Amino acid sequence: MVVPPPILLIAAIVLSYLASAIAPGLRLGGPPLSFLGIALIAVGIGLFLWSVKIFQKHTTTLNPRGKPSSLITAGPYRISRNPIYLGFLLIAIGTALVFANVLAFVGPLVFFFFINTLVIPFEEDMLTNVFGATYQNYRKQTRRWL
């Protein structure tokens, strides 16, 4: 993993903005989509904050490169192995909806690609090394995204 996930999220938002600015004629629907976008951003931020609170409660690292001290399976981690990244993805999609341009969706797609192919596999290998069978059982029972 080379780029930290929050930086990938910021890059996705910037990419969405730039892509939508290049072709303003590819606009989507209007206020209803913007409101949906704002709602997705709010849900994404809420999911992120909830996940961070769980990490703090278990006093383990949020750093994807750091060695975790405990495997978290409570809260949002009961339904997704990656609720922080899911929250980030919701923020990226919500931002694309606020920009209301077809090309703005390139940002969330790029974010998903990098998180799903580079970041998550790196973390899964590390969690397997640290927690072994306990993590493998959790992985079998809980989906990567939803």
**Average pLDDT estimate for 60-69:** 91
Is the confidence at residue 2, as pLDDT, over 90?
Answer: no
Distances (CA, A) of 64 to 38, 43, 52, 60, 125: 27, 22, 13, 11, 11
The reported pLDDT for the residue numbered 51 is 97
At 4-57, the pLDDT tens digits run: 999 999 999 999 999 999 988 788 877 888 999 999 999 999 999 999 999 999
Distance CA 97, CA 17 (A): 11
Residues 6+ apart with CB under 8 A from 61: 55, 67, 68, 69
Distance CA 29, CA 104 (A): 13
Is the confidence at residue 1, as pLDDT, over 70?
Answer: no
**Average pLDDT estimate for 79-96:** 98
- What number of CA atoms fall less than 13 Å from residue 111's CA on the CB side? 30
**Average pLDDT estimate for 107-127:** 96
Segment among 17-26, 84-93, 121-130, 136-145 with least mean pLDDT: 17-26
The reported pLDDT for the residue numbered 27 is 82
Q: What is the pTM assigned to this prediction? A: 0.94
